[in-house]
Amino acid sequence: MTDLAPAADSGSTDIPGKPTSASRTTLSHIMTHNDTNLLGTVHGGVIMKLVDDAAGAVAGRHSGGPAVTASMDEMAFLEPVRVGDLVHVKAQVNWTGRTSMEVGVRVLAERWNESAPATQVGSAYLVFAAVDADGKPRRVPPVLPETERDKRRYQEAQIRRTHRLARRRAIMDLREKRAAEGIED
Ligand SMILES: CC(C)(COP(=O)(O)OP(=O)(O)OC[C@H]1O[C@@H](n2cnc3c(N)ncnc32)[C@H](O)[C@@H]1OP(=O)(O)O)[C@@H](O)C(=O)NCCC(=O)NCCS
């Protein structure tokens, strides 16, 4: 399903929806020598931490409480990031299910002391599950896409969701089949 109807597994239609813009967030950080790898450019893990931080803030804002990272996929590093770059991590809720949210993140970099436009250096999609005080999944408000870009992102997120579930199911089926055949690994 790739239209804008609530997902069949969302089950959250009786919770008032929240527009995408209500939780959209940008986190900005200047890269220093503490952030570099052995090549002298910024370590990918430093960028991933910023991505997780920004996405976590968005998920917490959207869901109105704690949310944990369930998965991160399609993390792409498009250009190296250098010491002295001002990095902007832009995150928004793309899609909501019953208790989970897909957050899309774009990473931009610009020289901290120049006025040249920022360039995109990375992107990622993360799934967060909203949790209660016991760490159990709790329901989230449906996201209400506002712009055509939000609507495209919602539809694309539904495609990724379908593929994640299908991949997980296929792997579980294979493992069960091998176990049933008595194969040990
Ligand atoms: C994420 C977590 C809460 C899921 O708990 P669970 O008991 O498996 O609950 P469910 O199977 O009902 O999953 C809850 C939601 O998360 C989604 N989900 C769970 N694992 C997922 C994964 N690997 N990828 C994508 N979505 C996932 C489910 O589809 C479900 O979404 P929905 O309600 O919108 O359909 C649990 O696995 C957890 O606490 N993980 C640790 C999280 C953490 O510590 N993160 C920090 C990283 S160090």
pLDDT at site 128: 98
Residue 4 domain-assigned?
no
Q: Which helix (H) or strand (E) holds 65?
A: none
**What are the pLDDT digits (tens) for 93-126?**
999 999 999 999 999 999 999 999 999 999 999 9
Verify whether ligand 1 is closer than 6 Å to residue 32 (CB atom): no
CA distance 133 to 106: 30
Q: Which pTM does this prediction carry?
A: 0.93
- In the chain, which residues have pLDDT < 70? 1-13
**Backbone dihedral region of 94: left (phi > 0), alpha (psi from -120 to 50 degrees) or beta?**
alpha
Residue 3 domain-assigned?
no
Of the residues 9, 93, 127, 162, which should be mutated to test ligand 1's pocket, given the most ligand atoms within 8 Å of the CB?
Answer: 127
Verify whether ligand 1 is closer than 6 Å to residue 49 (CB atom): no
Q: What is the mean pLDDT of the chain?
A: 94
**Rounded distance from Cα 18 to ligand 1 centre (Å):** 21
Q: Is 122 exposed, middle or buried (0-12, 13-18, 19+ CB in 10 A)?
A: buried
Residue 131 domain-assigned?
yes
**Rounded distance from Cα 44 to ligand 1 centre (Å):** 24
Of 155, 145, 139, 153, the C-alpha closest to 20 is 145
pLDDT at site 7: 53
Instruction: Report which protein residue has its CA nearest ligand 1's atom 29.
Output: 100
Residue 93 domain-assigned?
yes
* CATH assignment at residue 80: 3.10.129.10
Verify whether ligand 1 is closer than 6 Å to residue 45 (CB atom): no
Residue 1 domain-assigned?
no
Domain that holds residue 140: 18-180
Nearest ligand 1 atom, CA 129: 16
**Rounded distance from Cα 144 to ligand 1 centre (Å):** 22
Planar angle of CA 12, 17, 20, nearest 5 degrees: 120
Q: Could you give the number of structural domains in the chain? A: 1
CA distance 135 to 139: 12
Verify whether ligand 1 is closer than 6 Å to residue 71 (CB atom): yes
Residue 11 domain-assigned?
no
